[in-house]
Chain A
């Protein structure tokens, strides 16, 4: 579900809405989602935020319904500067988010395993440190692929 074209290693965004828009635009350009995807994700984020408090580097995993998703894919944005994001299950607790995984999901049952592994990976102490130190799409893609495989085989 990871693709080089969906990775933005040095994302510069003024806030979470702008970060979602840039990642969604990238997904739209590559035919993963429809043009209304960003709006749907932002609406959903207002109702049910998706930032996770996982330590020094925090992560958000925004997503929305199948209606705007054309093919399964995960866009990755590594922000140059963190943006404030509301923590999942709360409506007022803000986290500084550095890494964003924007999900296009077409078959929830089939993609649940990958998402579960991803949530496990971001809680591994070195994973986010290593990820944020990478500056090219290719390196990030290789790194994620390797980590996912290790998790699947363990």
Chain B
């Protein structure tokens, strides 16, 4: 696939936790040259945002149905279990046809 994979991070209002989690994930992406894009989103726009994303990392339970794989966003908020969470996303992206090699 030519485009970069997009990870959306959702929390209840998309104000604080999702941005803090996105900041942590962006740091890792930069350090490891993963080439992913990250966008913090709020639950109210989740359905629309998910259409253009590859993985949803959520910091709270949500009610709407999304068609992309969902992982916990907590490791990116707290930093606990970070390696496992990155690996999980890497596996999902591989399954979705993204090349795991860094360009």
User: A residues near B, CB below 8 A?
Assistant: 44, 47-48, 50, 52, 61, 63-66, 88-89, 91, 103, 105, 108-109, 111-113, 115-116, 119-120, 123
Contacts and interface: CB of A to CB of B under 8 A. Distances in A.
A65 B20 contact: no
A120 B59 CA distance: 16
A108 B12 CA distance: 14
Contacts of B78: 52, 119, 123
Interface residues of B, number: 23
Interface in B19-78: 19-24, 40, 59-61, 72, 74, 77-78
Nearest to A65: B13
A149 B62 CA distance: 36
Contacts of A66: 15
Contacts of B60: 48, 88-89
Most chain B beta carbons < 10 A, residue from A50, A61, A111, A115: A115
B11 interface: yes
Contact of A112 (B12, B20, B59, B79): B20
A63 B19 CA distance: 13
B79 A63 contact: no
B75 to A, nearest CB: 11
Given A88-B74, A123-B78, A116 B23 contact: yes
A109 B20 CA distance: 8
A112 B59 CA distance: 15
A36 to B, nearest CB: 15
Contacts of A52: 78
Contacts of B14: 108
A101 to B, nearest CB: 10
Given A61-B16, A115-B17, 12 more contacts: A44-B13, A47-B12, A63-B15, A65-B13, A88-B59, A105-B15, A108-B14, A112-B22, A115-B16, A115-B20, A119-B78, A120-B79
A44 B14 CA distance: 12
A63 B24 contact: no
Most chain B beta carbons < 10 A, residue from A66, A88, A105: A88
Contacts of A63: 15-16
A112 B39 CA distance: 13
A88 B24 CA distance: 18
A116 B20 contact: yes
